[in-house]
Chains A and B, each alone.
Chain A
Amino acid sequence: MAEVKLKNVTKVFGKVMAVKNFSLDIADGEFIILVGPSGCGKTTTLRAIAGLEEVTSGEIYIGERLVNDVPPKNRDIAMVFQNYALYPHMDVYRNMSFGLRLRKVPKAEIDKVVKRTAELLGIRELLDRKPKELSGGQRQRVALGRAIVRNPKVFLFDEPLSNLDAKLRIAMRAELLALHQRLKTTTIYVTHDQMEAMTMGDRIVVMNEGIIQQADHPQTVYDHPVNRYVAGFIGSPGMNFVECTIAKKNGDLYARSKGMELLLPKDKTKSVEKYVNKEAILGMRPEHISDTQTVKQFEPGTNFKASIWVVEPLGSEKIVHIKNEDDTLVARLDPHVQLKSGDTAEFTVRMDLAHLFDKETEETIF
C-alpha cells in the first residue's frame, strides 16, 4: 500500500504531446479513475506509472520513492490489461504464479497464495485450465488473480472490463469494488466509460487532450463541472447545451435563445452580470427538465414550449427528445407521462441546478 504522486508529468510521442503537465496526488488506498475519450492520454499516464513508458519530463513517486528510472518489475505494481494478456501456454495456476516464481518465493507459499486468491475470485476449479479454455469473464478473473497474488502496492487497471458483455461488466464492476474494499490497495483505473467512472471511483480524473480537466469526487464532478467538456462527458444522456444571450429585464437576468427565455437564479446574478448582452451557453441535465403535466408547480420564468420529436420508454423512465426552434433537447421524464411524437407540450427547467458556460473559454460561469 502506498500513495502515488505525479508531478508535472509530460509525455511526448514524436510531435504529439500525449500527456501535458499532469499533476495528481493519489492517497493510500484510494480508488481513482482516469476517464476520457480515446486518445486523451489516460492509458499513457497509466503506462508511465507502470514504467512501461518513459516520461519526457516530470516526476512519478510511488510511496516515498521517485520511480522515474525504476524498471516496471521493481515498482511493486501490478497491472491488468484490457485484453487480459494471459500467457497462452501456461495453465491458470502457472499464469497466476509466474511473477512469484520469478521472484523465487518458496513453493509452499506460492501454492498457499495462489489457492487462496483463486478461492477469493471463484476460479479454484479452473487452476489447471489453459486460457483458451476459459470464457471472457473467467480470463479477466485470472488476470485479476495474477495481479492480486503479488500483493502489490498499487493496482493499475487498463480498461479491464471493456471486453466483457454488458451484463458481466456490471457484475464485475461490483466485484472489483468489493475486492477493493477488502484489499484496500491503491488502485488506478483507466476507462472511457463514464458510467464505470461514476460508480467505481473515490475520485475521478476527467482527461481530454492530455490535460486533466477536473479531478474530484464523482458527485462533485457531476454537480459542479468546471467546464463544458466535463459537463458534457459525465452523465448519460448527456447534458443539453443551448446557445443563448444574456438579457437584463427589470433587474432580472435571462438566458434567451430563439425559442426560450429562462430566468436565471437571483443568487447567480453577480457572476453573470458581466455577460449581459453577450453570448453564453446554458447547460441543463435531462433530469432537470420536466413536463408541466407532472410538475405543476414551478418557478415563474423557467418554462418553455417545445414539440415532441422522439419518445424512448425505458420502463423506469421516459427519455424524450424535444425540439424548441433550432435546439434539440433531451429530457428524462416520469415513465407514465402521456406524450407522443408530434405533440407540443410545456416544459420547465430547474434553473437552480442548471449551468452557464462562457462561450469563448467554455469555463463554467456557474
Chain B
Amino acid sequence: MTERMNKVLSRGLLHTFIIFIAILWLVPTIGILITSFRPAQDVASSGWWTVVGNIFNQTQFTLRNYRIVLSRLGIGRAFLNSFTITIPSTIIPLAIALFAAYALAWMRFFARTYIFMIMIALLVVPLQMTFIPILRIFNRSNLAGTFPGIWLAHSGYGLPLAVYMLYNFVSGLPKEIFDSASIDGASTFHIFLRIVLPLSVPIIASLIIFQFLWVWNDLLVALIYLGGTPDVAPITVQISSLVGSYGQDWELLTAAVFISIVPSLLIFFGLQRYFVRGILAGSIKG
C-alpha cells in the first residue's frame, strides 16, 4: 500500500515539475507570438497579456508586421540563406559520421582506437579557440564569406559529437546480424547500406534535430565566417541587426523571431515519430 502511495506521489511530483517547466518555457513564446500579431502602437502602449482577456476581438491583431519583415527588411532572403546554410551543414557531417562510426565500430584497421580517441578528445575543444586559425585559412583560400566555407565549419564542429553518438549506437548492434549478413552475401558496403543505415534511423533522426537546431540558431559561427553581407547572412544575423537598428520596433522583431522558429518546430515534429523505441526488439533474444 505504502509502495503504491509512494509511486503515485513521486509520479505526481514529477508531473508537477514537468508542467512547471513547460509553462516556464511556453509563456515567453506565447508572448512573442501574440506581440508579433499586434499593431506597433499597441505594443508600445500595453503588454501582450492585456490581449488575453478579450482574445476574440479581431481588430487588435494584424499581419502587417509579418508583411514588413518578409518584404522590406531582408528577412525573406535571410530565411532562404539560413536553409542554404543549414541543410548541407546537417547532411554533410552526418553522412561522414555514419561512415566513420561504422568503420570505427566494425572494421579492423591500423590505429583504430587512437583515431577514435582523438575524435572524442575534440569534443572538449572550445569553439572560440578555433575561430582565428580557421578564419585565416578561409581568408587565404577565399572561403570566408561563402556558403561552402560555413558548411565546412559547421561540419567540423558537428562531427565529433555525431561520430561519438553514432559509434555508441552502431557498435551496440548485435554482432550476429553482421555475421549473418556477410554469410548471406552482403559486402561491407551492403551491410552498411541495408542493415546499419535502416537500423540507425532513430539515432540519425535525433542527430538531425540536434545539428539542424544548432546550425539554424547559430549566430556566432555565421557572423565570424560569413560576416553581415545580406547575400549570405542567415536569419539569426538579420534578426540581431533588427535589434540594433530598429530598437523600438518590438513588433517586427517578434515577427522575425517567430518566422525563424517555424522550421525548427517542423523539423522536430516531423522527425519525432522516428524516435521509435525498441526498433531492435525481436532481432536478438535478450
Contacts and interface: CB of A to CB of B under 8 A. Distances in A.
Interface in B164-192: 174, 176-177, 179-187, 190
A83 B185 contact: no
Contacts of B180: 79, 81, 85, 87, 146
Interface string A125-142: 000001111101001000
21 contacts: A52-B183, A71-B182, A73-B183, A77-B183, A78-B183, A79-B183, A81-B176, A81-B180, A83-B174, A85-B176, A85-B283, A86-B282, A87-B283, A88-B279, A88-B280, A88-B281, A98-B181, A132-B278, A134-B282, A136-B285, A139-B285
Nearest to B177: A85
B199 interface: yes
B279 A89 contact: yes
Contacts of A87: 177, 180-181, 195, 283
Interface string A169-194: 00000000000000000000000000
Interface in B96-128: none
B283 A88 contact: yes
B247 interface: no
Interface string A46-57: 010011100000
Given A85-B176, A88-B199, A89-B199, A131 B282 contact: yes
B282 A88 contact: yes
Contact of B184 (A98, A130, A132): A98
B183 A132 contact: no
Nearest to B190: A102
B174 A85 contact: yes
B285 A163 contact: yes
B202 to A, nearest CB: 11
B132 interface: no
Contact of A83 (B198, B278, B284): B284
A139 B174 contact: no
Contacts of B185: 73, 99, 102-103
Interface string A74-107: 0001110101111111000000001100110000
Nearest to A156: B183
Nearest to A147: B183
Contacts of B181: 87, 98
Contact of A130 (B187, B282, B284): B282
Contacts of A73: 182-187
A52 B195 CA distance: 18
Contacts of B179: 47, 50, 52, 72, 79, 81, 85
B283 to A, nearest CB: 4
Given A102-B190, A132-B282, A136-B285, A72 B174 contact: no
Nearest to A98: B184
A140 to B, nearest CB: 10
Interface of B: 174, 176-177, 179-187, 190, 194-195, 198-199, 278-285
Contacts of B281: 88, 132
A-B pairs with the 7 shortest C-beta distances?
Answer: A132-B282, A85-B176, A131-B282, A88-B283, A99-B184, A73-B185, A85-B180
Given A52-B182, A79-B179, 7 more contacts: A50-B183, A81-B179, A83-B176, A85-B180, A87-B180, A88-B281, A133-B282
Nearest to A103: B185
A146 to B, nearest CB: 8
B184 A131 contact: no
Interface residues of A, number: 32
Contact of B186 (A51, A86, A102, A132): A102
B41 to A, nearest CB: 58
Given A73-B184, A81-B180, A86 B283 contact: yes
A134 B284 CA distance: 12
Contacts of B199: 88-89
A88 B283 CA distance: 5
A81 B184 CA distance: 13
A72 B186 CA distance: 10
Contacts of B183: 50-52, 72-73, 77-79, 99
A89 B278 CA distance: 11
Nearest to B280: A88
A198 to B, nearest CB: 25
A16 B194 CA distance: 35
B169 to A, nearest CB: 14
Nearest to B283: A88
A180 to B, nearest CB: 19
A71 B182 CA distance: 8
A160 to B, nearest CB: 12
Most buried by B among A51, A72, A77: A72
Contacts of B177: 85-87
Nearest to B286: A83
Nearest to A52: B179
A139 B184 contact: no
Interface in A289-318: none
Nearest to B198: A89
Given A73-B184, A83-B176, A139 B190 contact: no
A73 B184 CA distance: 6
B182 A84 contact: no
Contacts of A131: 282-283
Interface in A40-65: 47, 50-52
Contacts of B285: 83-84, 136, 139, 163
A132 B179 CA distance: 20
A89 B174 CA distance: 13
Nearest to A89: B198
A130 B278 CA distance: 12
A72 B188 CA distance: 12
